[in-house]
Amino acid sequence: MTAYVLILDDDADVATAAQLLLRRRHGRVATLTDPSGLPALLARGVPDVVLLDLNFTPGRINGAEGLALLDLLRAQPQPPAVIAMTAYADVPLAVEALKRGAGDFITKPWDNARLIAAVDQALTLSSASRGGGAGSPELMGKSRAMRELKSLIASVAPTEANVMVLGENGVGKELVARAIHAASRRAAGTMLAVDMGALPESTFESELFGHRKGSFTDAKADRAGRFQAARGGTLFLDEIGNMPLAAQAKLLTVLERREVTPIGADKPEAIDVRIVSATNLDEARLFDPAVFRADLLFRLNTIVLRVPPLRERREDVPLLVAHYLQLYQTQYQRPARNVSDAAMDALMRHDWPGNVRALRHACERAAILAQGAEYVTGDFGLVAPVAPALPAPAAATARANNPAPAGDMTLEELERMAIANTLAQFNGNISHAAKTLGISRAALYRKLGKHGI
Ligand SMILES: Nc1ncnc2c1ncn2[C@@H]1O[C@H](COP(=O)(O)OP(=O)(O)OP(=O)(O)O)[C@@H](O)[C@H]1O
């Protein structure tokens, strides 16, 4: 699936600069400088991500025009992910945009790496929530494990306790975080998600805590950090298991003192956020001080919620399959079909190393490709778990002894095999696999969808 990104900014130079930057990474990057053209553009197709300037009319900085466009975008049946842009480092305006459904914000002039990361993250989120209408899809499941999880969520949500959500890739940790926020006293505030594993060390503090204009060469304007932007709401720290130790120390200080000092500021600012964190590290690794600081762990894991892998709650499979097939049939305007008994049996017996995300992709694939009167097993493209990759030297020997497979395979098939092998090697850990393959997590998610893995 190639992404469609739209940049909506009345400054043609700004729009073109962003377009040039993003065009190298995304399938289709369009610009629009006159917001009155938006309805016609949307009628031709809704983008996956919109970079939306909040200040259109020169000299006016109340952002009302941008917010009205945001409402229009959010009202689409399949709303795009929106990243709000403001030239004025205007925290209240950015926060208002987040409350009204923007997924993120950046301030102009932007940092290129930050803009790229924001679009990647938005694409990941938008592919995760596409078809769910406004807001996040509901946390589905009637198995005993899911009923217990939902009842735990209901009891911890109204408290202010920090919650740590544990579980394999794709089990629904982010959905759990959203459910906690939605049932909390902070529900009227924003929930801001930060991929801690993807934050470059060089911009970690500025991203999370903000900075003052002039505090370093690229600090051309004041910038609010995520802690300030999520004020009154929930900060979802995703992939905390991938944080370098130095970054863990900085986060610990903030959580202990309940205040942040933006870079270049002389006074700290009190924070008012509830922290929900998540990781797919197994608990043995999480409790290894060489990987994760024990003192930070104890700050974050006041309550621990474990989301079981799908293979341990197979009875949820039919419900999830029915839900996602219906979603994609509608999205791709495909006819409704029943799932054959044999296919349902295969789906229930499958081990789902990529959990619900993989099931969702399998349903999307089936909805697009199915031709028969009902869905058959082959429509779902299930791949039996691949044998773990050999250690590097053994793999090299094996390749040298048996170079044939690559010769018989198309580039597509080779890519699929490389991805499946790498995922198996890291037990489905998306971050590690993406790193090894040399692509971003968002790009890997898109490729998983493309190959139906
Ligand atoms: N219980 C569920 N009901 C409906 N959809 C679900 C459920 N669990 C997960 N999903 C869907 O599966 C996908 C992955 O969910 P989510 O992003 O919450 O997983 P995650 O555990 O945070 O993944 P990762 O570890 O890779 O960040 C999303 O598209 C989400 O909507």
Domains, the chain, in order of start with CATH, read 4-114+125-129 (3.40.50.2300), 144-308 (3.40.50.300), 313-353+361-380 (1.10.8.60), 392-451 (1.10.10)
Q: Which atom of ligand 1 is nearest to the CA of 171?
A: 21
pLDDT confidence bin for 91, thresholds 50/70/90: confident
Residue 165 has pLDDT above 70, yes or no: yes
What is the distance of C-alpha 412 from the center of its chain?
25
Tokens of 415: 């890519």
- What gap in Å lies between CA 348 and CA 302, rounded to an integer? 35
Task: Kindly provide the ipTM of the predicted complex, given to two decimals.
Answer: 0.99
Report pTM.
0.65
Residue 392 Cα to ligand 1 midpoint, Å, equals 32
Ligand 1 cavity residues, CB under 6 Å: 128, 137, 139-141, 167, 169-175, 238, 278, 280, 320, 356-357, 360, 430
- Give the best-scoring range by mean pLDDT among 34-38, 125-129, 213-217: 34-38
The per-residue pLDDT for 312 is 96
Tokens of 380: 């779902």
Residue 113 Cα to ligand 1 midpoint, Å, equals 26
Tokens of 218: 């690229």
Q: Which atom of ligand 1 is nearest to the CA of 323?
A: 4
pLDDT confidence bin for 136, thresholds 50/70/90: very low
The per-residue pLDDT for 408 is 54
Rounded mean pLDDT, 133-161: 85
The per-residue pLDDT for 342 is 96
Q: What angle do CA 432, 435, 441 make, to 5 degrees?
A: 85
If one compares 363 and 109, the residue with the highest pLDDT of the two is 363
Residue 430 has pLDDT above 60, yes or no: yes
- Give the best-scoring range by mean pLDDT among 13-27, 66-80, 291-305: 291-305
If one compares 33 and 441, the residue with the highest pLDDT of the two is 33
Give CA separation, 148 vs 14, 138, 153, 155, 227, in Å.
50, 16, 9, 11, 31
Residue 159 has pLDDT above 80, yes or no: yes
Tens-digit pLDDT profile for residues 296-342? 999 999 999 999 999 999 999 999 999 999 988 888 888 999 999 99
The per-residue pLDDT for 375 is 96
The per-residue pLDDT for 90 is 67
Mutate to test the pocket of ligand 1, among 136, 149, 325, 356 (most ligand atoms within 8 A of CB): 356
Rounded mean pLDDT, 191-209: 86
The per-residue pLDDT for 316 is 96
Tokens of 116: 């790229």
Mean per-residue pLDDT of the chain: 83
pLDDT confidence bin for 406, thresholds 50/70/90: very low
Tens-digit pLDDT profile for residues 59-71? 655 677 888 899 8
Residue 118 has pLDDT above 90, yes or no: no
The per-residue pLDDT for 422 is 81
pLDDT confidence bin for 394, thresholds 50/70/90: very low
- What gap in Å lies between CA 36 and CA 29, rounded to an integer? 19
Rounded mean pLDDT, 229-235: 91
Residue of the nearest CA to atom 16 in ligand 1? 172
The per-residue pLDDT for 210 is 87
Using a 10 angstrom Cβ sphere, with 0-12 exposed, 13-18 middle and 19 or more buried, the burial of residue 217 is exposed
Mutate to test the pocket of ligand 1, among 314, 355, 357 (most ligand atoms within 8 A of CB): 357
Own/partner contacts of 56-59, CB < 8 Å, gap of 24 or more, are: 56/10, 58/10
Rounded mean pLDDT, 276-302: 93
Residue 93 Cα to ligand 1 midpoint, Å, equals 30
The per-residue pLDDT for 189 is 85
Mutate to test the pocket of ligand 1, among 130, 146, 147, 174 (most ligand atoms within 8 A of CB): 174
Count of CA atoms in the C-beta half-sphere (13 A) of 430: 27
The per-residue pLDDT for 130 is 44
Residue of the nearest CA to atom 12 in ligand 1? 357
The per-residue pLDDT for 414 is 73
Residue 397 has pLDDT above 60, yes or no: no
Residue 305 Cα to ligand 1 midpoint, Å, equals 15
Residue 449 Cα to ligand 1 midpoint, Å, equals 14
The per-residue pLDDT for 248 is 94
- What gap in Å lies between CA 265 and CA 206, rounded to an integer? 11
Residue 448 Cα to ligand 1 midpoint, Å, equals 14
Rounded mean pLDDT, 412-423: 78
If one compares 176 and 59, the residue with the highest pLDDT of the two is 176
Residue of the nearest CA to atom 9 in ligand 1? 172
Residue 378 has pLDDT above 90, yes or no: yes
CB atoms within 10 A of CB 139: 17
